Amino acid sequence: MAPPIDVTALTASLIACDSVTPAGSAVFDVLENALLPLGFSVERFVVGTAPDGPVENLLAVRGGGSGGGAGQHFAFAGHLDVVPPGTGWTGNPFEPEVRGGLLYGRGAVDMKGAIAAFVGAVARIPADAGTISMIITGDEEGPATHGTVALIERMAARGICPDLCLVGEPTSVDRLGDMIKIGRRGSVNIWIDVPGKQGHVAYPHLADNPIRRLVALVAEINAIVLDQGNDWFQPSNIEVTDLTVGNPATNVIPAKASARLSIRFNDQQRGDALVERITALATAHAPGAVVTARISGEAFLTLPGMFSSLIANAIARHTGHQPSLSTTGGTSDARFLSKICPVVEFGLVNATMHKLDEAVAIDDLALLTDIYADIISQALQPASS
C-alpha cells in the first residue's frame, strides 16, 4: 500500500491555490502530485474558449478495468474550482489557517476537503483491489459547459466507464453523514423579451405598451402548478427572478419589456417540455415574444438499493447513525454522471459553503477519510458477493 496521506495538509495545499471558477493549473498540480505516488495515471486537458472557457480538467485512473464487465470500477467525481470569496473574511481566504479545530479557507468544504479525503482513502486501498478513477473538473461552480461533460466525453473515447460513482459534494447538514443525495431536481432558466412600440404616454393609440402583455403572461405563469411532487422529490416550482423594462422616462411608453424565470423540476417534468410550455404561453400573450432558454440539467434519481445502502452502511459503521436519503438542494455535476452509471453524493457538512470564513472540522476530514476508505473497499468487491 502507498504511504499514508496527511489529509489536513493536502486540503490546506489545495485551499492555498486561488481557484475561483474556472480553476487554474496550480491547484491541479497539487492534486496530480498527490495522485502520482499512489499509482494513478493522470491526464489533464483544457477545453473551450470564452465566454465559458477555457476549462482545465483532470482524469486519473488506477487499475486496468474500464467497467461495464471489465471488473469493478469505482469513480469519485468532484471539482477544484470555488466561488469568489467575497470581502469580510477574518483572514485571507486563500491562506489556510487552523483555529479551534477548524481549517479555514475558501473551498474547505466545497469541495477541496472531500477531494483530499478521497485521496487519503485511496492510499489505504491495495493497488490490485480494483479500478479507481477520479473525475475532477475546474468548472462546476460556473457554466459547467466544458467541465464534467467534457470529462465524460474523454472517458467514452478511452473506453472508460465506471460501475459506480461517488460525488463528494457537501451533503451533510448538521453532522457528518446525516444526509446523502440520491438525486437532484433539474434546472432551466428562461428569458422572455416582449416587444412593443415606443411612444408618448399622452398618445397611447400611437404606441404599443409591452408591459401589459408581460404582466398578464407572468400572472398566468405564476398560477401554474406543475405537480405535487412524489415519494422522492418536492414539487416542481417556477420562480420569476427578474422583470426589466429599463425605461428612464416618465412620459414614454417603452419599446420592450423582459422577464426571467428559473424552474426547478422533479422527475415528472422534462426541461424541453417546460420550455415549450412557456414559449406557447408567451406567444399567446405576445405573438412577437422572443423566448431563450438554458437547461442546466434534467432531474435524476438513483433509486435506493445496493449503492445507497453500501454508502449508508459505511456511514453507520463509523458514525453510529444512518443517513437520510434526499434529493434536495441545487444542481450538481451528478446530473451529468448519472447518465453513465449509478451516482450518489456524500461529503462534508455544508453549513459554511459559499459563506465568509468557510471552514471544515479537522476531525471531520479524518472521519470522512475513514468512511471513504470503507466505501471504496466495499464497492470494489465483486458484484456477485
Give backbone dihedrals phi and psi of 33, rounded to 5 degrees, phi first: -65, -25
Question: Cα–Cα distance between 336 and 346 in angstroms, integer?
Answer: 16
CA distances from 96 to 11, 35, 219, 359, 360 (A): 9, 21, 49, 9, 11
CA 206 distance to own-chain centroid: 50
The Cα 98–Cα 103 span in angstroms is 4
- Output DSSP code: residue 195: E
Q: How far apart are CA 289 and CA 234, in angstroms?
A: 31
Buried b (16+ CB within 10 A) or exposed e, 201-212: eeeeeebbbbbe
Q: Which residues pair with 349 in a beta bridge?
A: 172
Of the candidates 206, 258, 268, 212, the one whose C-alpha atom is nearest the C-alpha of residue 237 is: 268
Look up 193 and say whether it is catalytic.
Answer: no
Please answer whether residues 192 and 185 qualify as being in contact, where contact means their C-beta atoms are separated by less than 8 angstroms. Answer: no
Residue 357's region, left for phi above 0, alpha for psi from -120 to 50, else beta, is left
Task: Compute how many other C-beta atoms are within 10 angstroms of the C-beta atom of residue 241.
Answer: 11
Spatial separation of the C-alpha atoms in residues 196 and 256, rounded to whole Å: 5
Q: Which three cell numbers stand for residue 26?
A: 496550480
Would residue 208 show up in a list of annotated catalytic residues for this protein? no
Catalytic, out of 81, 169, 267, 298: 81
Maximum Cα–Cα distance for the chain, whole Å? 83
Residues 6+ apart with CB under 8 A from 194: 210, 213, 214, 217, 256, 257, 258, 259, 282, 285, 286, 288, 289
List 56, 110, 139, 140, catalytic entry: 140
Contact 135, 67 (CB under 8 A): no
Would you name the residues annotated as active-site residues? Answer: 81, 140
